[in-house]
Chains A and B, each alone.
Chain A
């Protein structure tokens, strides 16, 4: 189909959909209305189970089985990304050069790292009390670890990031969620039922299984995000295919799209013999041409 015909089909379809959406939105309950039957019941159920963050109660208690599916999607997506971005036989790894970091950047990132890590763990632990939980806190924890890449360099990040260990932690988080669900079966009720004592309202040990499920999700999300980012960062920094005859062209493509090699083209005087076949995967300012 030509580009023009495609745009016409798109215009007709989009117009039709716009009309349908407009008609449908007129039939929806008015914005800001008072009629929220499910919301009212969810709040009642959460308060009855001593969980002050109702969103966490919905996610990890009332609709915990749905969250199991969500967590499995996350797990499968991480698995799929690792498989898709694995090193193939025609590629090899180049050890990243140590890079020099501006002192203020290094200082700030090294100060921010433990603070961010602590905030992430706090958000995971307080998911049943205040906005947050395993998903949000897990992402914060994973981000905190990557501050080391900004503060030092890729080698330092690799030292605190043994991928195998994080992949296992990812699987362990998923398994912990499944097993916590099975606790309901052992106690004689339904799968993923909230079987633990509900505790005192508005304390850290409230909500029954909600904090435990939050912790399992936190472990899975944190390690899953670390593994995901590692796959992408390895592609950008370490994995090259120098034996491939068209690799030089591809490397120059990467330079144009803002990949790490761009700075040494602009900041340094053009060094002879470094273009073309020599892949420079990282941005080492004092890099020697090989």
Chain B
């Protein structure tokens, strides 16, 4: 085989796969979003944006991402550094920390529901310890703060590991020589972390953040399990349009809005964490 052609032949299956199962459906969805009752129009977008729950679900989605992602970033960095320092049992710890990754997000939501609900584990524990007289309704419309906290906790528990694995791989790539040199010059651990680990980790951080932020805008099952109808998010509204209202066009329009938000944030992260030209590890 011609050596110049070989790479193209090798990526052909993947390209075809993406074309058929991603690009083609995407074009169809985009088309659906712009088809109104009288041909091409922005009618669907007007409909979904003017619905009274749209601003609330937009705000909730953003707020959740803004709270969850930084906490996850900090936790993942901490955990990755710890794992990296371990000599024994490194793999075991890593496996345990990544267990939540293998659990579907709905299952994760239900696990946390079992903890927080009225007859759940938290309530029985508090009653057992004599901290409360009777079961408390944590997840009720009267406590929007606690509902938010429960969702944020479940999300942090569930999805920190995805950043962790990327960062662990990234840290592993940083040459030991930098650290040795820094130690020779008397750099403290904190200085080494700030001056070596963080800058060298940029490409991994970029990937981890993009992946996590995009996933945060798609949050759905955990919210549905814990918040019910109390905490509307964009993805939940898309589901409602598609399956409750059977309005595929409006669902497609809202999906494109979520896509647009994801693209904007991806660009921001790409720009903010770009690796300067010529710089390599």
Judge: A and B partners, yes or no. no
Residues of chain A at the chain B interface (Cβ within 8 Å) = none
Residues of chain B at the chain A interface (Cβ within 8 Å) = none
